[in-house]
Amino acid sequence: DAMVIQNPRYQVTQFGKPVTLSCSQTLNHNVMYWYQQKSSQAPKLLFHYYDKDFNNEADTPDNFQSRRPNTSFCFLDIRSPGLGDAAMYLCATSRDVQVGGYTFGSGTRLTVV
């Protein structure tokens, strides 16, 4: 029944080694979001795709990139992870009219060593 699936659930990467997190959806929603959530903090929006249009938040570091090759998949690339990038990364989807709000995945917990 999982509708927004994030893989892997846990990811350990080395300092400075590129890492990619993936998100897939079966809802056919046209908007996909990536949020970063650090311990005891609220989720912080990094960027979102409205169909194929990429929308970056002004304060999202250049170290974070995203790709959306088709409606179902979206990837978060961290080019050179630092210790401060350790966090839960949440993918969410919505229609362009947000009836019923966002649907979130279970998240990927990233550890940087």
6 contacts 27 by C-beta, under 8 angstroms = no
**Distance of alpha carbon 104 from the chain centroid:** 10
Cα gap 107→92, rounded to integer Å: 9
Peptide bond into 8 cis (omega under 30): yes
Give the range of 11-19, 61-69, 70-78, 89-97 binding another protein by CB under 8 A: 89-97
- Tell me: does residue 81 bind another protein (CB under 8 A): no
> 30-59: which residues touch another protein (CB under 8 A)?
31, 33, 35, 42-45, 48, 50, 53, 55
Q: What residue ranges bind another protein (CB under 8 A)? A: 4, 31, 33, 35, 42-45, 48, 50, 53, 55, 88, 90-92, 94, 96-107, 109
